[in-house]
Structure 1
């Protein structure tokens, strides 16, 4: 395993980071989820990312139980707050980045994780309905209470990150990371978010580097998705992956196989290694529904893709790549979820 600093902070994290979105507490049983976490630890992964909303809190519970007994100081554990969590019906303050929701959110996450603190506490989306000053003050109080060491954001626009960073500096806390979607097929952060983060000292913790599994090459143009794959999962996976299930996209992706083969990599390893070529990326988030997937993904650590291969990737994918930076704004909820 290779390690990188998270932004300009002094904390190092494993450049392959294990994330349990869409799997733990939802797609796979708890014992298999635990086996995946153990496989991650065995492969040298020390950094784990989750969120309170994943499987309505169950993902945090599964991760906490799986890490029980590990030396806490040797791990970096990340979680997030924004979306509603808890029993139905949800309350009017059970979403967003208000002081109330953030302070209640961190307490709930720590209880489910069975931990005293998290290394990174992230705003899962931007909250257009709460003053940013209130949000950042609440995060500062979480840090000062020793419940989180660093602060991050997820799917924020460049100007929102700049504003938050300025407030963080005034409050004396460390805003060190951004967690956006990023892959060969989804490059919307390259135009604005990455340059802003490079200037401010934030690192990217990128999710979906293999585009929901599409970049593994297992989805063939003109054929039904394999049984049991994410594209057939009606709990959420199928909805997330549908943007890529187009024959033109799938045909282009198959053209990546020779490039991966020339480098001695699987297509999934090529996809993970590709995002790690971006110097602003601190870590690539990978998930797994089977322990052996973890062992395969970590082989992307430390890989350098030659410039000519990077150019070939761009040529193969051509215009199926999404790169419009304005798309980032569409991830900000236009109204309260509740």
Structure 2
């Protein structure tokens, strides 16, 4: 495993991080991640009603806390009440308290604001975060899927309230390069590193959806929004990447993960897994450097299926409540 500093901070994270959005992380998967040198784990309070955090809390029993970089996040609804979502002071603090209980820890290393909240002043959110940092419950702060303009607002508020804002987590993959135009340059300017989310395009870039077939138990078989990526023409192009991966001595998943790590602002690639074997395979993408020929072949094969328009958003800036 290789490790990188996050933005301008001193925090080191593993190049491959393990996230448990859809697959909550069995003890076997977490053990495989730790064995492979993965130190960085991503979850969120609202994922499966807190079950994702609880799964991590149980899996980390007996693991030295200082060996882990635990990242969790707040924004999505966690209950039926009008204050059970968003980034208000009330919800941010209440959500963190619940996260700490489920994770069985007294602090989180990176507390992430999972979307921009149009209903709450940015200053209110960051003043609350400042209090949590001073209390020792939060070490660093990050954002997720914030626009360049919103990141500048966050930077101003973080500077005013002495909040260590160090990271942003955009959707970023071979197919979705939207952050490169504005988010990544602005992030670099204000000292933010990027946690690349969904680098495997929800499994599409692993090549498992050949001919549009959806394997039983795969992510596309359930409700998450993978199906728009299952266009026959796109899958044909993705299948051609197998030759590129073979020539590089990589699996298709490793090729996709390594691709995201070529960008200088990316601190780690965050991916889930259903089995310990997948975790072990993914971890081998750390430290891989792709030469220009490989990168050029990827661009040529994917062609117009690559999304780069900065006006596009992976998911709408959802309003809580």
Task: State the TM bucket, normalised to the shorter chain.
Answer: over 0.9
For residues 316 and 186 of structure 2, what CA distance do their matches in structure 1 show?
18
- Matched residue, 1:28: none
- Matched residue, 1:65: 58
- Matched residue, 2:17: 17
- Matched residue, 1:170: 160
For residues 136 and 3 of structure 1, what CA distance do their matches in structure 2 show?
28
For residues 232 and 103 of structure 1, what CA distance do their matches in structure 2 show?
36
Deviations 1:58-80 (A, max 9, x none): 00000011001111111110000
- Matched residue, 1:213: 203
- Tell me the CA shift for residue 14 of structure 1: 0.4
2:110 counterpart of 1:125: no
Equivalent position to 2:243, from 258, 266, 271: 258
Equivalent position to 1:189, from 164, 174, 179: 179
For residues 132 and 170 of structure 1, what CA distance do their matches in structure 2 show?
11
- Tell me the CA shift for residue 166 of structure 1: 1.2
For residues 140 and 329 of structure 1, what CA distance do their matches in structure 2 show?
29
- Matched residue, 1:319: 304
For residues 226 and 95 of structure 1, what CA distance do their matches in structure 2 show?
34
CA contact (8 A) 2:126 2:163 kept: no
CA contact (8 A) 1:155 1:331 kept: no
- Tell me the CA shift for residue 15 of structure 1: 0.7
- Matched residue, 1:228: 217
- Tell me the CA shift for residue 142 of structure 1: 1.1
Which stretch of the first structure deviates more once superposed, 224-233 or 163-172?
224-233
SS at structure 2 position matched to 1:300: coil
- Matched residue, 2:275: 290
2:295 counterpart of 1:310: yes
CA contact (8 A) 2:171 2:314 kept: no
SS at structure 1 position matched to 2:178: coil
- Tell me the CA shift for residue 163 of structure 1: 1.0
- Tell me the CA shift for residue 330 of structure 1: 5.2
- Matched residue, 1:29: none
- Tell me the CA shift for residue 331 of structure 1: 2.7
Distance change (3 Å), C-alpha of 1:329 and 1:184:
closer
- Tell me the CA shift for residue 328 of structure 1: 3.0
SS at structure 2 position matched to 1:272: helix
2:184 counterpart of 1:199: no
CA contact (8 A) 1:153 1:178 kept: yes
For residues 303 and 135 of structure 1, what CA distance do their matches in structure 2 show?
38
- Matched residue, 1:242: 227
Count of matched residue pairs: 321
- Matched residue, 1:85: 78
- Tell me the CA shift for residue 224 of structure 1: 2.4
2:285 counterpart of 1:300: yes
2:133 counterpart of 1:143: yes
User: Deviation above 3 Å: which 4+ runs of structure 1?
Assistant: none
Q: Aligned-residue CA RMSD in angstroms?
A: 1.1
Deviations 1:256-306 (A, max 9, x none): 111101100000000000000000000000111111000000110000000
SS at structure 1 position matched to 2:179: coil
- Matched residue, 1:115: 105
For residues 112 and 42 of structure 2, what CA distance do their matches in structure 1 show?
10
Deviations 1:297-332 (A, max 9, x none): 011000000011101100000001111111238531
Residue correspondence of structure 1 range 31-50 to structure 2 within 5 A: 33-50=26-43
For residues 215 and 150 of structure 2, what CA distance do their matches in structure 1 show?
40
In the alignment, structure 2 segments of 5+ residues that lack a partner are none
